[in-house]
Amino acid sequence: QIMKLQSGEAQVMWSATSAEREKQLLTVRFPLLQGLAGYRVLVIHKFKQGNYPADVTESRLQSYFGVQGADWPDLTVLKHNGYKVEGLPWSLWFANMFIAVEKGLVDYFPRNVIEVSDDLERHADKSVKLEDNVLLRYPSYEYFFVSPKHPELVKRLYTGLLRMLDNGELTSYFNKHNNHRRAMELATQDTRTIFELANPGITQTFKNPLWSQNPAPMRAYVEARLKE
């Protein structure tokens, strides 16, 4: 798909961003999923909640062993921040990572708040649960990417996003998805301890990416891009 955009055969796609992708394509820096992919909760063994008390420290978390997809950027993020994580091949992740938690081969499996509810429903037959007290948070965004052959589309997309942000259509569309609503509830729970992690693969961070909760910062950012 990237090659199709580079050649002009395709015009637009949306994808998780990375420094490399932003070098290859034109970037519409608007966090379509509000950065929620970087909000990570832990799937743990259902009898191991005691290992994660309300006052759990980051050093304690870093002493445990986690699992991620071997080619996921999240593996690099966690290791960069001092977490002990092992990677499993993508083709095996869906079953084996949950089995690894259930069997005690690893202590936890970080999942983003958008996906975790569906994951746990699919694995309801396993002795795993959503951990109650921890939220790992790091910058992770999904953007529109535009073919270098069609640079005029960048401002058109910014204009459309701004219009939808202003009239509420963007928030309405986002909230149509049950997993998005559940994700926002998890991301904004005030009962969880938030551990902020750095993402070495990101070129820009947003202080307030939750535009459905507070649209003003994102609106100001987009307006500035349109004036460039």
Domains of the chain in start order, with CATH, are 37-137 (3.40.190.10)
Q: What is the pLDDT of residue 54?
A: 96
Distances in whole angstroms, Cα of residue 225 to Cα of each of 23, 24, 220: 18, 20, 9
CA distance 144 to 142: 7
Q: Kindly give the parts of the chain with pLDDT less than 50.
A: none
- Of 38, 7, 4, the residue nearest 197 (C-alpha): 38
Tokens describing residue 66: 């986690």
Q: What is the pLDDT of residue 210?
A: 97
Other residues' Cβ atoms within 10 Å of the Cβ of residue 59: 8
Other residues' Cβ atoms within 10 Å of the Cβ of residue 143: 21
For residue 118, the cross-strand partners are none
Tokens describing residue 225: 């891009």
β-pairing, 65-69 vs 12-16, is: unpaired
pLDDT digits 0-9 by tens, 174-226: 999 999 999 999 999 999 999 999 999 999 999 999 999 999 999 999 999 99
Task: Tell me if 119 sits within 8 A of 43, measured CB to CB.
Answer: yes
Q: What is the pLDDT of residue 92?
A: 64
Query: What is the rounded end-to-end Cα distance, in angstroms, of the chain?
Result: 28
Query: Considering Cα of 145, then 150, then 155, then 157, what sign does the dihedral take?
Result: negative
- Of 168, 227, 228, 208, the residue nearest 30 (C-alpha): 208
Residue partners of 146: CB distance under 8 A and separation at least 6: 5, 11, 12, 25, 26, 27, 28, 153, 154, 157
CA distance 116 to 81: 22
Identity of residue 42? L
CA gyration radius, the chain: 19
